[in-house]
Amino acid sequence: MKDLISINDLSVDQINYIFKLAETLKKNPYQSVLNRRSMAMIFEKPSLRTRVTFEVGMHQLGGHAVYLQPSDIKLGERETVADAARNLERWVDIIMARTFKHETITKLAENCSIPVINALSDIEHPCQAMADFFTVLEHRKNFSGFTMAFVGDGNNVCHSLMLLSGKLGVNFILACPKGYEADTAVTAQTKSLMAQNGGSFRIVHDVNEAAVCADALYTDVWVSMGQEEETKIRREKFKSYQLNADLLKKASGEMLVMHCLPAHRGEEITDEVIDGTHSIVLDQAENRLHVQKAIILYLLHKDNEITV
C-alpha cells in the first residue's frame, strides 16, 4: 500500500490500526514526528474541512503543507498530470489531491513514487468515510449489528461508506429515488466484501423504511459541485428524502444523525435535526483532522514502527 486512493486500498487490519493511531493522536495532538516533511495539497474544488484539517494536521505533526489552488497548477491543462507528479515527488514527501475526476488522482499515484491521498474525487471520498466510522466507534464502541442508512444519491461519499461497511461487516442501506443508486461496480464490490466479512447491503426507495431499521441516518447535499445544472430536478426528486423531526420519530431513540458537510440547511436536513441531540456532525468534522493525521503517518512510516 503506497497510496490511499480508495477504501479498497485498506485491509481490515490497516483500518483498525489507523483508528487506534487516530485515537492516540486525538489525545496528544502535537507530535513532532514528521521531521519537517512536506505535503503538496492539490485543490480543483473549494474546501473548508479538507484544507484546514490537512494543513493543520501537517503542522501538528511537525511537517509543512503547500496549498496549490486551481489557478496555480491547472492539472492536465498547463501541463500533464504525469509531469506535475514527477516534479512534485522531487520536492515534497506526500501529495493529497481533491479533484473532479478520479482518474486525475490515479494518474498522480501512477507517476510518482511518493504517497498520494485521495481527498475527494467523483468516485470516492475515503478520508471522509474513515473519519465517519471512527466517529461512530467513539459513540458506539463497536460495529456489532450496526446499521447505517445513507439518505441521498449514490455519490462519492456513499461509495466510500459502502466499501468501508463491507470491510467492517456493517449493515448498509441506501435510501434514494429510482435512478440515483450507487455505481454498479461499487455495489458489487460492497456485496462481495460483505459476503466475506458480514453485514448486508440493500437499496430502498422509501426513506421511512430506512429510518426504522437504521442506527445512523447519514445524508449529504442533493446537488454536489459540478451538478449545478441539475439543481431544479434534483430538488424535486429528493424533496421527500429530507432528514427532519418527523423522520426521526420513526427511528430508534439512540439514532445517530450524520452529515459530511457542507449542509444545505432546509434542503436535505433541517436546523433542528443537524443541531439536535442526535447529531454527531461536528464530531465527524473534528475527526477528519485526527484520522487524516493517522493516515499521513501510516503512509510515511508504514515500514517502520510509529511512536507517538
SS3 content of the chain, % helix, strand, coil (to 5): 50, 15, 35
Averaged pLDDT for residues 276-301: 97
36 is catalytic: no
Q: Select which of 158, 260, 278, 290 is catalytic.
A: 260
User: Per-residue pLDDT tens for 101-142?
Assistant: 999 999 999 999 999 999 999 999 999 999 999 999 999 999
Would you say 245 and 272 are in contact if contact means Cβ atoms under 8 Å apart? Answer: yes
d(CA 213, CA 218): 13
Q: What is the pLDDT of residue 1?
A: 85
The helix (run of H) or strand (run of E) holding residue 171 is strand 171-175
220 is catalytic: yes
User: Per-residue pLDDT tens for 131-182?
Assistant: 999 999 999 999 999 999 999 999 999 999 999 999 999 999 999 999 999 9
Q: Select which of 220, 259, 290, 292 is catalytic.
A: 220
288 is catalytic: yes
CATH assignment of 7-124+288-301, given 3.40.50.1370, 3.90.950.10, 1.10.10.60, 3.30.70.100?
Answer: 3.40.50.1370
Cell of 238: 429528493
User: Per-residue pLDDT tens for 231-252?
Assistant: 899 999 999 999 999 999 999 8
Phi-psi region of 36 (alpha: psi -120 to 50; beta: other; left: phi over 0): left
Alpha helices (runs of H) in 28-79, residue ranges in sequence order: 49-60, 70-73
Q: pTM, whole model, 2 decimals?
A: 0.96
CATH architecture, domain 128-285: 3-Layer(aba) Sandwich (3.40)
234 is catalytic: no
The contacts of residue 227 (CB under 8 Å, 6+ apart) are 234
Give the torsion sign (CA, 123, 202, 291, 302).
negative
Any idea what the Cα angle at residue 280 is, between residues 276 and 284, rounded to 5°?
145
98 is catalytic: yes
302, pLDDT greater than 70:
no
308, pLDDT greater than 90:
no
* Phi, psi values for residue 139, rounded to 5°: -85, -30
Q: Select which of 49, 51, 102, 125 is catalytic.
A: 125
Q: What distance separates the 2 farthest-apart alpha carbons in the chain?
A: 56
The helix (run of H) or strand (run of E) holding residue 138 is helix 126-140
Q: Where in the chain is the domain with CATH 3.40.50.1370?
A: 7-124+288-301, 128-285
